[in-house]
Each structure stands twice: as C-alpha cells, then as structure tokens.
Amino acid sequence: MRFDILTIFPGMFDSYCNESMVKRAKAKGIIEIAIHDIRKFSAERHGKVDAIPYGGGPGMVMTPQPLYDAIMHAKTLNKGPVIYMSPRGKLLTHKKAQKLAKGGVSRKGKNKQAPGLILVCGRYEGIDQRVIDLCIDEELSIGKYVLTGGELAALVVLDAVSRFVPEFIGKHESTVEESYSEALGGKKEYPHYTRPPVFMDLEVPEVLQSGHHAKIKEWRKKKLT
C-alpha cells in the first residue's frame, strides 16, 4: 500500500517512518511512503504557502496554488483517495482504518489490488476551501481536539491503516482479536499479564496460570468492556 503525504514539515515524518514496524514494512515493500514538501510547489518567492484570510480574523490560511499543484503531482503517483486531515472531518475509527486499508484501488503493473492514500496536512488556520472543493475526497479527524497541524494526524492514519495491510503485522500478532474488532463485538480488549507471577504484591489472576483454555476464554470474555 502506498502513502503519499503532503506537508510543509517533511522532517516531522523522518523518525516515525524509520523505526520499528513501519521501517520493517517499508523494507519488505509491504508499504511505501513518499513525503512531499508543499513549499517546493509554491510559485511564489521563498516558497510562500500562506496568506491572511479574506474576511479578517486571526492567523493565516494556506494558499491554494502550492497545495493544488502538490496534490496533482501526488495523484500521478497514487490512485487512492485524497484525504485532508482536519478537526472538521469525520472521526477515524477502527472500521474506517480497516476500510481504507482495503482501498480496492488497483495500481498498474501489479496483479494484486494495492490501495493507496494521499494524506494532506494543513497548518495555520486551515487550507483554502477551494482546494477542498476541487481535490479533497474526504476530510478525516483523529479526535475532537485541535492539533497545531495535520502531521500527527496523518501519522496516526498511516499507523492505524498500515496494521490492516496484509503482512504488516508479524506472524505472532493479529488484528483479528483486539479492541474494537468484530471478533470482540467492537468491545475493548481484556487485560494482559506476563512474567513474573507476582509483582509488588499483585498476582496474575489464577485462571490465567491454570492452562485451562475454556476457563481462560470465559474469563477474558467477561473482562471485555
């Protein structure tokens, strides 16, 4: 699955995209990530990408030209939907992440359907509405709070969606039985314990140490919330 991310702070993605699971998935070709610097598309001097809002008010708004051109460029590389990260968007859920991972958008030169996503990160007060009207397929929020920009939100989408890309998760893990999954009826998962059996006077529940699979299953079911 291919992710094209548009931002004026490309450096913000360096560490996250080069560590742990994402690093491994990139190396194996399971996911592909391209970060595009919106400033590089600006036709103005010094790569200017913002201006004061029409109608007045505080802050700056991202101008349409650099964003429009950056999105058009990304669309030549990625056939997936263009998603604008915004607190005004629809809330991201487990189900939505799963759906985005399926994508169903085929890419040339590959047999299997490899979906993609273009994630647009805004800064300042937001982006010019005309870019949304012209190019954005969907606005997505990661929660009912306002971040200083869409970059962290895009990383959240990248992470949550990648987990559902086949082979992203290792052999010993699974997205089948986890919080919010269908298998757990959309509920939150049971608690986990590991060694040692006693820590700070707190014991691992006896049933989990019993090896009695049916009883463990029942205990875990009861612990779903």
**CB nearer to ligand ADE: pick between 66 and 122:** 122
Strands 198-199 vs 138-141: parallel, antiparallel or unpaired: unpaired
Asked if the peptide bond before residue 196 counts as cis, ω within 30 degrees of 0, the response is yes
Among 143, 186, 191, 197, binds ligand ADE (CB under 6 A): 143
Which one of 26-34, 81-89, 129-137, 196-204 is the stretch in contact with ligand ADE (CB under 6 A)?
81-89
**Residue of the chain from 141, 158, 161, 168 that contacts ligand ADE (CB under 6 A):** 141
Q: Applying CB under 6 A, does 153 fall inside the site for ligand ADE? A: yes
Helix, strand, coil percentages for the chain (3-state, nearest 5): 35, 20, 45
What's the CA gap between 135 and 146, in Å, rounded? Answer: 23
Phi, psi of 37 (to 5 degrees): -85, 110
| 116 near ligand ADE, judged by CB under 6 A | no
At closest approach, how far in Å is the CB of 142 from ligand ADE? 4
Cα angle for residues 37, 39, 45 (degrees, 5° grid): 155
Cβ nearer to ligand ADE, comparing 84 with 190: 84
Q: Which residues bind ligand ADE (CB under 6 A)?
A: 85-87, 141-143, 145-147, 150, 153
